[in-house]
Amino acid sequence: MYNSSSSSLKIPTSPQEEDKGEGKVYGNVLAELESVDLPLGTTLRSVYDDQPNAHKRFMEKLDARIRNHDREIEKMCNFHHQGFVDAITELLKVRADAEKLMGQVSDTNRRLQDAGREVTAQTEEVIRCRIQQRNMATTVEKLQLCIPGEMTWLYYSALKTMEQLENIYIPRVSQYRFCQIMAETLPKLREEIKEISMSDLKDFLESIRKHSDKIGETAMRQAQQHRTFNSAVQKQVTLSCAKPLYGLNSRTPLHHNGLSAEAADEEEMDEEVLTAQDLVDFSPVYRCLHIYTVLGDRETFENYYRKQRKKQARLVLQPQSNMHETVEGYRKYFNQIVGFFVVEDHILHATQGLVTRAFTDELWNMALSKIIAVLRTHSSYCNDPDLVLELKNLIVIFADTLQGYGFPVNRLFDLLFEVRDQYNETLLKKWALVFRDIFEQDNYSPIPVENEEEYKAVVSRFPFHDAEIEKQQFPKKLPMSQSVPQIYSQVKEFIYASLKFSESLHRSSTEIDDMLRKSTNLLLTRTLSSCLQNLIKKPHIGLTELVQIIINTTHLEHACKYLEDFITNITNVSPETVHTTRLYGLSTFKDARHAAEGEIYTKLNQKIDEFIQLADYEWGMAESDGRASGYLMDLINFLRSTFQVFTHLPGKVAQTACMSSCKHLATSLMQMLLDTELKQISMGAIQQFNLDVMQCERE
């Protein structure tokens, strides 16, 4: 507690003391009042108890102190007033955006709550189904302990009864003749029961051999539905991370449960899941196994079953000779194999020791080697890329199906790399025909554009940018011919087609990027390059066409970097990544351009030779005509018009062509003079020849 005597204040009584100590005393009192740590009651009581008028002076001091604080508060407010006003102004500006954002947040929250409500309901349904599935699995597991069950109970009872008769009851009355007959008959009855059960087993083996394709078809369809559903869900998750809820601005329409319509349809189709036990009655196997076990001959039964299944496996693995002609042939082949191993997987888990994991692994390894050899052989006969692509999809589904049953399938995915090479070869053959048609239909003249729409249509198909041409008024011409945007578009289509094979191969983006770049390099360096070389060598391709081909290859060469960016956008792999394959289009178009330049020089020389052959000098003329020969003037006019076409070519090419033509013309004229058949030349002929040479020099 606070001690009042120790804190009481002595109020001065004399005027001198009051003048000296009044301010100090009341200052102490006011300091105590302003403190939040001291009790106020004792302090105030000390003011009123000492003198009657002390409280008036204290009130005056208190008022002065209050006014002082008011002034300090006013100064502080004045100092911060402008900042407060600015803050309020900014807050008013933000209020409109805040209200808009609040509306968006509320709307998003509402939609999220609606979506979450359906997800919650579906989650509860999934939990309930999982519980039911677990209970059913437990029930099946317990029931399997009771196999062969009700149908085999009669055989089991009969065998137990015969055992009791033979071991217990017949020995007691063995002196009677009918008992001896019964004792002799019991072994025969056992053999009859074994034969009946074995007959049922043979019928079962024959039945599953006939229906294995149906079993495999069902299993592969379920695996495909499961893979499609997972792919659709993954795609929807990706879209939901990058786009608004409910598929706004998305190409994929959403179902009422938030999944794409395709995934929803697959989910509905997959509601009733059929298993091997739903399609096949396995009771003959269980019955025969139980009977042989009771009779102590289980090993014989196991050996027989495994031997028969090995024979059936070899039959299943034999393909039809025309399997490569249609995709249905491959599908039937895969269905039979899947059906066989689905049955074996069920027998493995439903019986105890009839087949072992080692036995199924041995069968699978044998089958896998045969399957790979068959597919490698038959796929080599396929010339249709669409058929090869469908084969790849079947192999993926086949591998996914058997992988779901625990069989290793890595070798199948390795085989797909060989099939990919075959697919690329068929694509290259197909695109070789496409390129050939494009070159044959090209008019080898600049593309005319009449208006802005036509210009944008060309630029949208091919990355062309030229500031000078863009400034020109319509109508105008683009330097390349119509084949350039067509070739560029077809290369992109090839990349898309090549990408289709890379889907579902369980490969990284970097590996897919490498595959695309390598296949594109093959298209550029082998297929397109070969088509360009053949085009340049065709006899109907003249100098004008060769000039246009050089211009075209120059623009295609500049577009290679855009193809690199196109592949990068597809695979999301940066071109700066280590070991990234580069496109070799630059060298392809450079080689084609050099070949076209060489062909220009050759054709020019051939054309000069044709004009030279028209020369008809009169080597014995008395005097010249005083003007150049007609053939030479025609040749000069031809060269003049040809060199005007060369203005669109790089300066070095035009210069080289001019020098080559002049040199060839000079050589031809010199050979004309030095011809061994020319025996005599008159002075007039020499003057005429000199005029022709001077005309060449003047031009």
Q: Where are the beta strands (DSSP E) in 484-595?
A: none
pLDDT higher than threshold 80 for residue 19: no
Alpha-carbon distances, residue 202 vs 34, 60, 205 (angstroms): 108, 122, 5
DSSP3 helix / strand / coil % (the chain, rounded to 5): 80, 0, 20
Residue 150 placed within a domain: no
Q: What whole-number distance in Å separates Cα of residue 666 and Cα of residue 652?
A: 21
Q: Which residues have a Cβ under 8 Å from the Cβ of 499 and sit 6 or more positions away? A: 512, 516, 570
Q: Which residues have a Cβ under 8 Å from the Cβ of 121 and sit 6 or more positions away? A: none
Residue 182 placed within a domain: no
- pLDDT 10s digits, 620-667: 787 777 787 888 888 888 888 777 777 666 657 777 777 888 888 888
pLDDT of residue 591: 83
Q: What whole-number distance in Å separates Cα of residue 358 and Cα of residue 366?
A: 12
User: Which of 128, 145, 162 finishes a domain?
Assistant: 145
Beta bridge partners of 143: none
H/E segment holding residue 449 = strand 447-449
Note whether 346 and 429 are same-domain residues: no
Q: Pick the closest to residue 220 from 398, 364, 340 (CA basis).
A: 398
Q: What is the DSSP string of 81-145?
A: HHHHHHHHHHHHHHHHHHHHHHHHHHHHHHHHHHHHHHHHHHHHHHHHHHHHHHHHHHHHHHHHT
Q: Give the rounded distance of the alpha carbon of 188 from its chain centre.
A: 67
Q: What is the share, in percent, of the chain residues with pLDDT greater than 70?
A: 78
Angle between helix 54-144 and helix 40-50 axes, rounded to 10 deg? 170
The count of other CB atoms within 10 Å of the CB of residue 698 is 8
- pLDDT 10s digits, 466-487: 888 888 888 888 888 999 999 9
pLDDT of residue 659: 83
Note whether 375 and 428 are same-domain residues: no
The count of other CB atoms within 10 Å of the CB of residue 163 is 14
- pLDDT 10s digits, 385-433: 899 899 999 999 999 999 988 899 989 988 888 888 889 999 999 999 9
Residue 520 placed within a domain: yes
The mean pLDDT value for 662-682 works out to 81
Q: Which amino acid is at 39?
A: P
229 pLDDT tier (thresholds 50, 70, 90): low
Residue 155 placed within a domain: no
Q: Which amino acid is at 437?
A: D
Note whether 571 and 639 are same-domain residues: no
Q: What whole-number distance in Å separates Cα of residue 699 and Cα of residue 693?
A: 10
| Residue 144: both structure tokens together | 């399997």
Note whether 429 and 335 are same-domain residues: no
pLDDT of residue 572: 82
For the CA atoms of 607, 608, 613, 614, what is the dihedral angle to 10 degrees?
90
Residue 25 placed within a domain: no
pLDDT of residue 265: 46
Alpha-carbon distances, residue 77 vs 63, 157, 194, 641 (angstroms): 21, 105, 109, 90
Average pLDDT in the chain: 78
- pLDDT 10s digits, 101-156: 888 898 888 888 888 888 888 888 889 898 988 888 887 776 665 544 444 456 66
Q: Which residues have a Cβ under 8 Å from the Cβ of 427 and sit 6 or more positions away? A: 385, 494, 497, 498, 519, 523
CB 216 within 8 A of CB 336: yes
Note whether 505 and 399 are same-domain residues: no
Q: Give the rounded distance of the alpha carbon of 581 from its chain centre.
A: 18
Note whether 595 and 669 are same-domain residues: no
Alpha-carbon distances, residue 586 vs 492, 529, 536, 583 (angstroms): 16, 11, 18, 8
pLDDT of residue 307: 92
The count of other CB atoms within 10 Å of the CB of residue 515 is 21
SS3 state of residue 574: coil
| Residue 173: both structure tokens together | 């009355």
CB 547 within 8 A of CB 649: yes
Note whether 553 and 626 are same-domain residues: no
Q: Pick the closest to residue 375 from 317, 428, 429, 427 (CA basis).
A: 317
CATH of the domain at 659: 1.20.58.670
SS3 state of residue 477: strand
Angle between helix 177-242 and helix 385-404 axes, rounded to 10 deg? 120
Q: What whole-number distance in Å separates Cα of residue 159 and Cα of residue 544?
A: 99
Total domains present in the chain: 4
pLDDT of residue 583: 72
Note whether 294 and 337 are same-domain residues: yes
Task: Determine the structural domain holding residue 352 and report its residue range.
Answer: 217-234+276-421
- Give the chain's radius of gyration (CA, Å): 49
Q: Where are the beta strands (DSSP E) in 143-293?
A: none
Beta bridge partners of 477: 448
230 against 534, higher pLDDT: 534
Q: Which amino acid is at 141?
A: E
> What's the N-to-C CA distance of the chain in angstroms?
126
Q: What whole-number distance in Å separates Cα of residue 617 and Cα of residue 607?
A: 19
- pTM for the model stands at 0.62
Residue 321 placed within a domain: yes
Q: What whole-number distance in Å separates Cα of residue 530 and Cα of residue 523?
A: 10
Residue 35 placed within a domain: no
Q: Pick the closest to residue 473 from 454, 453, 450 (CA basis).
A: 450
Note whether 65 and 109 are same-domain residues: yes
581 pLDDT tier (thresholds 50, 70, 90): low
Beta bridge partners of 86: none
Q: What whole-number distance in Å separates Cα of residue 383 and Cα of residue 388?
A: 8
CB 571 within 8 A of CB 516: yes
CB 671 within 8 A of CB 611: no
197 against 361, higher pLDDT: 361
Note whether 127 and 141 are same-domain residues: yes
- pLDDT 10s digits, 62-91: 888 888 888 888 888 888 888 888 888 888
Cis check: omega of the bond before 408, within 30 degrees of 0: no
Note whether 291 and 415 are same-domain residues: yes
Beta bridge partners of 478: 447
Largest CA distance in the chain: 161
SS (HEC) of 39-54 = CHHHHHHHHHHHCCCH
| Residue 654: both structure tokens together | 């035009």
682 against 180, higher pLDDT: 682
- pLDDT 10s digits, 538-556: 888 888 888 888 888 888 8
Residue 595 placed within a domain: yes
User: Which of 577, 601, 625 finishes a domain?
Assistant: 601
Note whether 553 and 643 are same-domain residues: no
